Amino acid sequence: MRIRTALLAMTSMVAAPSLAMASTITGPYVDMGAGYNLVQGQHTHYSTGQSGTVHHSTGFNGYLSTGWGFGNGLRVEVEGAYNQTHTHSIGGDISRGGSRRAHGKDQGYGGFINVLYDIDLKQFGIDAPVTPFVGVGAGYLWQHYRMGLRSGSNVASMNSTHGGFAAQGIVGAAYDIPGVPGLALTTQYRFIGQTASDSGVSIGHYRNTSHQHVTMGTRYTHQFILGLRYAFNNAPPPPPPAPHVVVPPAPTPARTYLVFFDWDKSDLTARAREIVSQAAQASTHVQTTRIEVNGYTDNSAAHPGPRGTKYNQGLSLRRANSVKAELVRNGVPANAIDIHGYGDTNPLVATAKNTREPQNRRVEIILK
């Protein structure tokens, strides 16, 4: 009944909600705890050939440990442990085949080296505010027995210390305490086994006492523990990285090259050919979809009246074709070039009517 009650209490603590966020330890930590101790019946064998069983009542335990977390769930620690249990009764040959009430207690102390693993529930898609852990440990425990039994005129007593190898299995859970970074509440169940060892016992009548050896069988202990753990490197986890935003590249601004012409001419000067060559080279180094070649004239004309307007329109187109031919000669595909002639419209420099303006006699090469 007592074991079941303790297990239910531990289960309720594990299931209790918490506002803290579960964490994995990286670096040094300290741990301490105390709890309920329950020892199974321990078999004994005496040098006289007799045997018996020591029954224990409940007791308590405590531990203090320090360790190191590797940040991946794995932890290693060194632990100092203490336990104390009262003797309830002794049965078997030593008590004449029955079970006799005994008085006394036994105390244990020693150390373990433990290896533990914290289980990150988020790896399994469980967002719970708790970190379960499991572990194993190995070490050495000394057990001091001080107890006595009276059966009629026979008296048996033991007052001795013996030690032996011990191993333990650990199952538990940790809850981060809100507002105190690094501090966690822990609940644990431990099962400890300690190897058999020899001790001494006095058996006999009041006036005829003999000293004999007794072999204490393997000791099995169940422990239910509540504790506190503090991790020193308790910096909060880094915030999640900002979502990667792909910024589309800004459109490449159009580049314009100006090619100027002599009055009433559509052939290219040496300087004009240099500018056209620069435009052709630029079209291979920047991303372009089309190349516009737009021809213009000034508002003077070789012929007066409407005939002059029509003449300027044709002259602007001839100038555009001259530039296109030079671009093709410099390696630009002809199908990538659009040509237009605008006559004396869209002047670069505003002038009075019938004015010969060199800057208006031009072709604009626009890379788009």
Whose tokens are 């504790």? That residue is: 227
pLDDT at 301 over 80: no
Q: Which residues pair with residue 32 across a beta bridge? A: 64, 228
| Residue-wise pLDDT tens digits, 136-160 | 999 999 988 887 666 555 556 667 7
Q: Is residue 173 assigned to a domain? A: yes
Which range scores top for mean pLDDT: 32-41, 46-55, 231-240? 32-41
Mean pLDDT of 319-340: 91
Structural Rg of the chain based on CA atoms:
49
Residue 75 to residue 115: CA distance in whole angstroms: 6
Kindly state whether residues 59 and 199 are assigned to the same domain: yes
pLDDT of residue 96: 53
Kindly state whether residues 63 and 172 are assigned to the same domain: yes
What crossing angle do the helices spanning 270-285 and 305-329 adopt, rounded to 10°?
A: 60
Kindly state whether residues 91 and 178 are assigned to the same domain: yes
Q: How many residues does the chain have?
A: 368
pLDDT of residue 210: 58
Where residue 70 sits, what CATH number does that domain have? 2.40.160.20
| Residue-wise pLDDT tens digits, 71-112 | 999 999 999 999 999 887 766 555 455 566 777 888 999 999
Under the banding of pLDDT at 50, 70 and 90, the label for residue 14 is very low
Under the banding of pLDDT at 50, 70 and 90, the label for residue 15 is very low
Q: Express as a percent the part of the chain with pLDDT over 90.
A: 40
Q: Is residue 236 assigned to a domain? A: no
Q: Is residue 247 assigned to a domain? A: no
Kindly state whether residues 220 and 267 are assigned to the same domain: no
What region, left, alpha or beta, does residue 125 occupy, with left being phi > 0 and alpha being psi -120 to 50 degrees? left
Q: Which residue has the higher pLDDT, 219 or 200?
A: 219
Under the banding of pLDDT at 50, 70 and 90, the label for residue 17 is very low
pLDDT of residue 94: 52
Count how many domains the chain has.
2
Residue 318 to residue 339: CA distance in whole angstroms: 10
pLDDT of residue 13: 43
Kindly state whether residues 211 and 105 are assigned to the same domain: yes
Beta carbons within 8 Å of 253's beta carbon, 6+ residues apart? none
Range from 35-44, 210-219, 303-312 carrying the lowest mean pLDDT: 210-219
Of 231, 265, 297, the last residue of a domain is 231
pLDDT of residue 157: 64
Kindly state whether residues 357 and 278 are assigned to the same domain: yes
| Residue-wise pLDDT tens digits, 47-64 | 666 677 888 888 999 999
Where residue 310 sits, what CATH number does that domain have? 3.30.1330.60
| Residue-wise pLDDT tens digits, 243-299 | 878 777 666 566 889 999 998 899 999 999 999 999 888 888 777 768 899 999 988
pLDDT at 161 over 60: yes
Q: Is residue 241 assigned to a domain? A: no
Kindly state whether residues 80 and 215 are assigned to the same domain: yes
Q: Is residue 239 assigned to a domain? A: no
Q: Express as a percent the part of the chain with pLDDT over 70.
A: 78
Residue 362 to residue 314: CA distance in whole angstroms: 13
Q: Is residue 195 assigned to a domain? A: yes
| Residue-wise pLDDT tens digits, 347-365 | 988 888 888 999 989 999 8
Mean pLDDT of 117-146: 91
Whose tokens are 């300290």? That residue is: 30
Which two three-digit tokens encode residue 31?
A: 């741990």
pLDDT of residue 10: 44
Q: What separation, in Å, do the N-terminal and C-terminal C-alpha atoms of the chain show?
A: 88
Of 197, 231, 265, the last residue of a domain is 231
Kindly state whether residues 145 and 113 are assigned to the same domain: yes
Q: Is residue 245 assigned to a domain? A: no
C-alpha separations of 347 from 4, 315, 320, 355, 364 in Å: 100, 15, 16, 11, 12
Kindly state whether residues 52 and 149 are assigned to the same domain: yes
Chain centroid to Cα 313, Å, comes to: 73
Kindly state whether residues 8 and 139 are assigned to the same domain: yes
pLDDT of residue 204: 46
Range of the domain at 304: 255-367
User: Using an 8 Å Cβ cutoff, are 47 and 107 in contact?
Assistant: no
Kindly state whether residues 223 and 259 are assigned to the same domain: no
Kindly state whether residues 146 and 271 are assigned to the same domain: no
Q: Is residue 238 assigned to a domain? A: no
